[in-house]
Chain A
């Protein structure tokens, strides 16, 4: 008896054939940058727990040109994730009505994008020291 060899349709490169799938995969890939960034922050908390010298070494590592290039790419990737997150957000909500009319999806997305902008400005101001 030979083992069954079920046919598995090859999937190599399927997402490169269509711009919609490309954008989907770019969005999914943003998760890798988000994960690496979270690990960098976790390393920062670890170095902080070791004292001033260790924390300064972590800050110095962030000044490495490669680190800055990584953060530049990560910024673009996570910003694209944020853009798409609020873009599809209306589809995850129940239909909302005001005055008997359904609120258009673009209005709900705009609220999300505005919240993103407001949160970004508040955090920037707080870290900068107002």
Chain B
């Protein structure tokens, strides 16, 4: 019997759901509104040396990879299943595009975090 792959994707969806429900709004607020508009936080909060130090630490690498990849695994799972709600009969091709995108983005993030160094 062919094993269903849905539990794998659902687990990633669930993990991404938890991480985005805990950290999504505050991260969007900080990187998208507070720092760009220069309100509520000193501009050095996201200055190059500080963010580089974050991306060069093991903890920072793990956090960046977890946030970026799990947000995407969560989002593509929802988008893929929403195609049905929009009356689009999504098949294996749509699944490959959605999950493939999350996979490529995960690998790209991991690669970039490695070449950023330690």
Complex: A120 Cα to B23 Cα, angstroms = 6
Q: Which of B2-46 contact A (CB under 8 A)?
A: 17-18, 20-33, 35-37, 40-42, 44-46
B90 at the interface (CB under 8 A from A): no
Complex: A127 Cα to B67 Cα, angstroms = 15
Neighbouring A residues of B115 by C-beta, 8 Å: 49
How many residue pairs at the A-B interface have CB separations less than 8 Å? 164
If A34-B75, A35-B79 touch, whether A75 touches B32 (CB-CB below 8 Å) is yes
Contacting pair B30 A123 (CB below 8 A): yes
**Number of residues in B with C-beta < 8 Å to the partner?**
51
Q: Which of A86-124 contact B (CB under 8 A)?
A: 86, 112, 115-116, 119-120, 123-124
The digit string for A27-39, where 1 denotes a CB below 8 A from any CB of B, is 0110110110111
Contacting pair A41 B31 (CB below 8 A): yes
If A41-B67, A74-B32, A82-B22 touch, whether A11 touches B87 (CB-CB below 8 Å) is yes
Neighbouring B residues of A48 by C-beta, 8 Å: 48, 51-52, 55, 112, 116
Residues of B participating in the A interface, judged by any CB pair closer than 8 Å: 17-18, 20-33, 35-37, 40-42, 44-46, 48, 51-52, 55, 64, 67-69, 71-72, 74-76, 78-79, 82, 85-87, 105, 108-109, 112-113, 115-116
